[in-house]
């Protein structure tokens, strides 16, 4: 009887560890690299759902004005009233959203 209880405890422990491991493998929200998803997460509050601008300027034709490198610099360093957005975003996420915006002409 005792032995069975031990086995049950060990088995439950293994199950628990497996469950935790599986959870860690799921992609955290901060790791998405789809530009639209990054935009929604980090930019939408100031630049609007349709890039139309809210407190920040309209970005619908930003690619006609700035190339991807210039946009990337603004995301990293901020500009005027726009804070640096590099905290919490990976290099991949920043360049993905910059390239996406640079295509808006």
Between CA 88 and CA 85 the distance in angstroms is 8
* Beta strand residue intervals within the chain, DSSP E: none
**C-beta closer to ligand HEC: residue 28 or 80:** 80
Residue nearest to ligand HEC (CB): 80
**Residues β-bridged to residue 79:** 82
Q: Given the rule CB under 6 A, which residues bind ligand HEC?
A: 42-43, 45-47, 55-57, 59, 62, 65-66, 71, 74-75, 79-83, 85, 97, 101
Instruction: Give whichever of 13 and 78 is closer to ligand HEC, judged by the CB atom.
Output: 78
- Provide the minimum distance between the beta carbon of 57 and ligand HEC in the complex, in angstroms, as a whole number: 5
State the Cα–Cα distance between residues 101 and 20, nearest whole angstrom: 37
Pair 77, 19: CB distance under 8 Å = no
Phi then psi dihedrals of residue 74, to 5 deg: -70, -40
CA distance 51 to 66: 15
Q: How far is the CB of 23 from ligand HEC (least distance, A)?
A: 28
Q: Which is nearer to ligand HEC, 18 or 77 (CB)?
A: 77
* Nearest-approach distance from CB 49 to ligand HEC, in angstroms: 13
């Amino acid at each position: 009887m005792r032995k069975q209880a031990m086995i049950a405890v060990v088995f439950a422990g293994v199950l628990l560890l497996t469950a935790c491991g599986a959870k860690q493998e799921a992609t955290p929200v901060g790791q998405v690299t789809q530009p639209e998803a990054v935009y929604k997460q980090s930019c939408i509050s100031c630049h609007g759902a349709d890039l139309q601008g809210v407190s920040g300027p309209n970005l619908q034709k930003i690619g006609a004005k700035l190339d991807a490198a210039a946009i990337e610099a603004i995301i990293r360093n901020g500009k005027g009233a726009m804070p640096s957005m590099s905290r919490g975003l990976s290099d991949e996420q920043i360049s993905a959203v910059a390239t996406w915006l640079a295509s808006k002409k």
